[in-house]
Amino acid sequence: MSDQPVVLIAEELSPATLEELGPDFDVRHCDGADRASLLPALAEADALLVRSATAVDAEALAAAPRLKVVARAGVGLDNVDVRAATQSGVMVVNAPTSNIVSAAELAVALMLAAARHVSPAHAALRQGEWQRSRFTGTELFDKTVGIVGLGRIGVLVAHRLAAFGMRVIAYDPYVQAGRAAQLGVRLVDLATLLAESDFMSVHLPKTPETIGLIGDAELHAVRPHLVLVNAARGGIVDEQALYAALKEGRVGAAGLDVFAHEPCTDSPLFELDNVVATPHLGASTDEAQEKAGLAVARSVRLALSGELVPDAVNVQGGLIAEEVRPGIPLTEKLGRVFTALAGGVAQQVDVEVRGEITEHDVKVLELAALKGIFTDVVEEQVSYVNAPLLAAERGTAVRLVTQGEDPDHRNVIALRGTLSDGSRVSVSGTLVGIHQRERLVEVNGFDVDLEPTQHLAFFNYEDKPGMVGTVGGILGAAGVNIAGMQVSRDSKGGLALVALSVDSAIPAEVLLEIEDAIDAVSVRAADLD
């Protein structure tokens, strides 16, 4: 077994991908399309990199007990069972922006080719026919183009077609009119777009709601000279309805890169001179392939170093602000300390975030807290992916609470929970100084100031003289060195807390000895190594 994390590359990726991974990993290769090659190779894999030929299903995931991340060097995830990966605690990442420029440029190319009859004119010329009058086309200038789906690719297409002097309208129920106006696009409903468009380009994801969105009824509502382009996903445009509309002269021309069933080499649409078609080439540029490989290599590095990955598709939280990132490992430690203090699983946990960082999205801190809380509770690997599932399975309700200011700290993160017997547990931490040093600042209502090192212990007892010396004496006799100590109490003669950081784990029998010696109300140890 390798000492380095094993990265299994199951399909051909760009040389730049391997360079980006660097020397920190044991990079191995296999043929992902060959199950007899793939499944044994997965046994030691910490990360799996694929494109579209490798089926990452429940069987493959079961063969990979060490797997932490599956990275698909592309946009779609049709070949990855995301749900099964999530249940296995495996992060799934892709490269969502790697091909957007290539896809947008192909859509424009198809539009131009269809408008100017490039494909049939080229075929005629190859057959020795010079027929200029037969292939008279139409300009894009001063025409109206309707963009169906104003996402990242749709926006790029809109920008490029505006440069041709086109009027751009768009249909997208999830985009605000003000946002569209900033882009120089007039937002309309689908019926208006169908009625006004001279050209139309589809840029929607394939979902149950979008399949067949442009069907027979819609193609009866368009202008007869319409040039329709679909370089998004097959099935959004009903191919049978499109064929009928083209044959009957209700649609002028079409440019297609995608089809309902792929690979598609036999379609009645291919028989028509007013159709230009390509075999799903949207991402097929050297630049897009290299961007995809580089993006997933970076994501793998982040995932294997325990960080959250912005391109992870099955992790909540989204893009993480730089101001929030230092709080992630602290919050995970707070979760582990919380579990140690609780001695079990809480019914309710509030993740409270107070201070300046609440100006940013701090959802990731809720995930980090859950990951820490369950790391020492369950046998399986706990990740940012399956932590919410583990909480749900165990009946732990979690809530993220934010507040813009804290009276004592610039930023503070607190975990507060209720156990099944109604008792309460809490632990709080902050980051201090230029170097953002981690500190525990509160434990079960007691103020402390302690670095959360690998080995911690907490002793609650009635406040009376000699207790601290007793604890120190027992630990010294056991060969356990104290690195830091904090003593806090709720009132003179009331309950007191000793919080310790020590250089090695405290044996269970030593903890029992301390509990008896000081007549402790509670004794808890947290080992964070």
Respond yes or no: is residue 139 known to be catalytic.
Answer: no
The number of CA neighbours under 13 Å toward the Cβ of 489 is 13
- Beta bridge partners, 72, equal 50
Respond yes or no: is residue 515 known to be catalytic.
Answer: no
- Beta bridge partners, 8, equal 28, 48
Q: How many CB atoms lie within 10 A of CB 326?
A: 16
Q: Is beta strand 446-450 parallel, antiparallel or unpaired with respect to 437-443?
A: antiparallel
Instruction: State the DSSP string of 251-315.
Output: S-EEEES--SSSS----GGGG-TTEEE-SS-TT-SHHHHHHHHHHHHHHHHHHHTT---TTBSS-
Q: Is the CB of residue 11 less than 8 Å from the CB of residue 28?
A: no
Q: What are phi and psi of 412, to 5 degrees?
A: -145, 145
Rounded-to-integer distance, Cα 178 and Cα 49, Å: 40
Respond yes or no: is residue 280 known to be catalytic.
Answer: yes
Amino acid at 198: D
Number of helical (H) and strand (E) elements in the chain, helices listed first: 17, 22
Q: Is the CB of residue 264 less than 8 Å from the CB of residue 240?
A: no
Helix, strand or coil, per DSSP, at residue 200:
strand
Handedness of CA 427, 428, 433, 436 (dihedral sign): positive
Cα distances from 457 to residues 98, 316, 524, in angstroms, run 48, 32, 6
Handedness of CA 498, 501, 507, 508 (dihedral sign): positive
Rounded-to-integer distance, Cα 141 and Cα 516, Å: 88
Q: Which two tokens stand for residue 494?
A: 């009331």
Rounded-to-integer distance, Cα 91 and Cα 314, Å: 7
Helix, strand or coil, per DSSP, at residue 52:
coil
DSSP state of 506: P
Catalytic residue among 19, 262, 356, 359: 262
Catalytic residue among 51, 233, 416, 524: 233
Catalytic residue among 51, 280, 301, 455: 280
Q: Which residue has the tokens 């041709």?
A: 164
Contacts of 433 (CB under 8 A, 6+ apart): none
Q: Measured in whole angstroms, how far is the alpha carbon of residue 416 from the centre of its chain?
A: 27
280 — alpha (psi -120 to 50), left (phi > 0) or beta? Answer: left
Rounded-to-integer distance, Cα 346 and Cα 336, Å: 12
Indicate which residues carry an active-site annotation.
Answer: 233, 262, 280
